[in-house]
Structures are given as structure tokens and as C-alpha cells.
Amino acid sequence: MPDATPGPDDTDLDGAAAPASPASPASPASPAEPVEPVESPELVEPPELVEPPEPVDETAEPDPPAAPQPFVPGAGRFTPAAPSGTKRLWNAVRQRPDGGQVLVAVLVALLGFGAVLQVRADDDDALANARRDDLVQILDGLRRQADRLDDHVAELESDRRDLVSGADTEAAALEQAEERARSTGVLAGTIAASGPGIIMTISDPDHDVKAYTMLRAINELRVAGAEAIQMRGGGNDAAVRVVASTSFENPSSDVLTVGGVELEPPYEIVAIGEPGELSGSMMFANGVVASIEGDDEGGAQATVDEYDDLTVDVLHEPQAPQYARPAPEDGDDE
């Protein structure tokens, strides 16, 4: 391709050559068009000088890649808190079932009912189609099972009777022991006693009643069946529970001591027992009352009154025996 030589009009004011446009080939059939004058381009500033890039040291190791940041789900966005189990259950309960759920529930119920009927029908068919020998074996097995259950029930009933009997026996033994202790306490004077009996009052202004007369009265009452006896001195309001070890003494001619306690007249003897028997033991001829009111006792007087309910409330403080001890029973080692 021949080089195009720039014309005088193609040179700018600075003397720079403008690029030449390639000439279009002329069509032989069309005449040459007149060339329009080319406007002078504006002045173009020279480009700035760019410093060349620094040389790269190919032997230097490249910088390690930055560590990847961990991915945090939902970072940068709001995530609502999941409802609790109780709240979800409450929402499910409060939610009104729709028609589809009701239909599914009905179908499930019908399916379960049909399965139960089918199982029962299968059992009935199995028994109906079983042979006689099989039915006999089944019946024997059921009978043996019933017998075992009856035996177990009988054992339980026997255990229950033994427990009840043992509890009753223990309760009865305990009650008997308590009753024996109460009876022994009444006789020993360690507990109070009440019941029918008599009160014999002895007035002795001259202190003529002697200790042996009082001891005779106590012995007569015991023979008549007195179960509890106490004596009281009205003059000094002293009282004594009379037991087997109670002593009667006259330290002096005008002093009476019972169980070591000095009593002042009038004297009162309270005895619990059958009132008629007790009063009769005091009132018979040449008895205690006659002896008290006789010439031997001076001006003393005695009266006996019967009562339906009396109380002996004075208690005796027993002392441990010094020499006596319980004898060993047969078969016990001494």
C-alpha cells in the first residue's frame, strides 16, 4: 500500500502530523467530490510523565493469604427466638383443627376399631377351627392356671389370718399385762383406786385407841375382801396408804403412828370392797366397833357408813427389798 504524503493542510500549529485518512477508491462512474477544508484541532497538552513501576523481586516469598473469616449464620440480620416447648404445645392445643385434620382423626379411629374387631374375630376363628384335642389342652391349661391362682389366694388368706391372729394375740397379751400391772399397783398401793366400800370414823378425844386395835380393824377388813385401804388423821390431816408392810405403833400412850406417820384423832379408815361384807366385819358382836366402844378404849366411838363410790388416792412409795429377790423359774439358770 503506498504511503500517503501529508499535505500542507494536514499539519497542526505545533507541527505535529495528523493521521491521514485512507483514500477511498474513486468510482469510475462518479465524478470526484470537492475536498472540504479540515478544521484545525484544538491544542492538545502533552501527556504527563509516568514513573516506571518498581522492579519486583521474584525471589521474595509471597505474603501468606489472609485467614478465612468463619461464617456466622444469620450474622447481620435479626433472627427471632424459637418458641419454648410449653408455648408450642399451648399453641397446638389452642389451634382449632381444620376439616382435613378432623377427617384424618376419624379415619385413624375407624382403622383402630377395625383392627380390634379383626383381632377378636381371628381369635374366635382360631378357637372355632381348633381341633378337639387342642381345645381340651387349652381348657386344661386354663383350669391349671385357675387352680394355681386359687392356691395363691388361699396362701394370702392364711397369711392375713396369721397376721391378724398374731396382732390380736399380741394386743391381748399386752392388755393382760397392763391389767395385771394395774391390779398389782392397787394391791401394792402405788396407784389410786376407786369403787364401792365403807368409811369407818373413830372419835378418840382421850387418845385411848391403841395400835393393836387399829391393826385388828385392818386385818378384819382384809379378811372381808378389802382391796385398798387408807387411814387419815383428821386432827393433823395426815394420811397413809395401808399395805402389807405398814406398821402400827404407840411410841407413847397417847401417840399413834401408822407406817411411820403420826395420826391425830378423829381417825378415818377408807376401805374399797363389797360394802355389806366390809361393814359386817366391823359390826359383828365382839367385833372391832364393840372393842373400840368398850370399857378398854375409854370414851372412843366408831361409826360405819357404806358408799357406792369411794376413792383411795394416797400412794405408797415402795422400797427395794434388801434381802429378798425373785426366785428363778423352772429351767432358768440361777
Q: Over pLDDT 90: what percentage of the chain?
A: 31
Select from 288, 251, 265 the least CA-distant residue to 204.
265
Sequence-distant contacts of 328-332: CB under 8 A, at least 24 apart: none
> Which residue ranges make up each domain of the chain?
102-188, 192-312
Q: Which one has a higher pLDDT value, 265 or 110?
A: 265
CATH code that applies to domain 192-312: 3.30.70.1880
Pick 96 or 16 by higher pLDDT. 96
**Given this model, what pLDDT does residue 8 score?**
42
- Cα dihedral 305, 311, 314, 320, rounded to 10, equals 110
Helix (H) or strand (E) run with residue 334 in it: none
- Asked if 255 and 211 touch (Cβ cutoff 8 Å), the reply is no
Supply the pLDDT for residue 13: 39
Model confidence pLDDT, tens digit, residues 224-237: 999 999 999 988 88
pLDDT value, residue 70: 54
**pTM of the shown model:** 0.50
Alpha-carbon distance of 301 to 201, in angstroms, equals 8
Per-residue pLDDT at 143: 86
Across the chain, mean pLDDT equals: 76
Percent helix, strand, coil in the chain, to 5, is: 40, 15, 45
Q: Which residue has the higher pLDDT, 233 or 172?
A: 233
Interval 7-25 mean pLDDT: 43
Name the pLDDT band for 120 (thresholds 50, 70, 90). low
